Structure 1
């Protein structure tokens, strides 16, 4: 008989306990190099509720994980650290962020309930009123205001 821990939600992650076990989709992954410091990998993970968290993979663990971490793939992850998200610029509004450690384990597994995309829109009125998180990086979706058809006569 196998007794396994239940999966936790991203919204519940905090620095009060260890270990955590989550099911997630990697929705974005990129490499950061800020000389003279060594580079590292960053990711955004999302669970089936659409909640997101930022993850850092230090250079020491980068080589171990780079072949196994694939954007838009779903995984079970456990044994990672959770810290307050004190980064100057954040990619997620979650109060915490994750960091892979030497004991982190991941297993790719199909979780069709985890959406590929989850959009969070901000009303223009809120932006104009200054009602937004100034240290949060966001995507901008452009709006077409009007289209004009122009015809030219050839002489």
Structure 2
């Protein structure tokens, strides 16, 4: 079965009131007049190389012609993380909890802000 692809859609705060009641999860829509941007954020939600940004001129039509499956979490096994099989710029879902918080540098100095913590695998 075709699972489709995921892409980030940015809805500016000023458009939330008009688009929140219009856009429903698992429906398909046609967007017109939006911006296509490179997905070059420091941390990415998807592998897709682009993201969409809706604007005041964006038109949304509820087409709903496709049965879109609910997005599955992108779980990353702790073993793969320990082995270095992950991307620094991609956010992953994990099954676990923060077990212990160590050193935390809250104010940025000469290095990046840092927090050390230990994760506990809950499988």
Shorter chain as denominator, the TM-score bin is: 0.5 to 0.7
Partner of 1:129: 83
Inter-CA distance 114–84: structure 2 relative to 1 (3 Å threshold):
same
Where do residues 1-155 of structure 1 align in structure 2 (5 Å cutoff)?
A: 49-122=3-76, 124-141=78-95
Partner of 2:113: none
State the Cα deviation string for residues 70-111 of structure 1 (Å, max 9, x = none).
Answer: 223322223211111122222112121110012212122323
- Matches of 2:36 and 2:78 in 1, distance apart? 33
Unaligned regions of 5+ residues in structure 2, if any? 97-120
Length-normalised TM-score, structure 1: 0.51
Asked if the contact 1:85/1:96 (under 8 Å) is kept, the reply is yes
How far is the alpha carbon of 1:49 from its aligned partner? Answer: 4.0
Inter-CA distance 139–120: structure 2 relative to 1 (3 Å threshold):
closer
Asked if the contact 1:50/1:118 (under 8 Å) is kept, the reply is no
| RMSD (Å), alpha carbons | 2.5
Asked if the contact 1:54/1:97 (under 8 Å) is kept, the reply is yes
How many residue pairs get matched?
98
Which consecutive aligned stretches of 4+ in structure 1 deviate over 6 angstroms post-superposition? none
Structure with bigger strand share is 2
Which deviates more, 58-67 or 79-88?
58-67
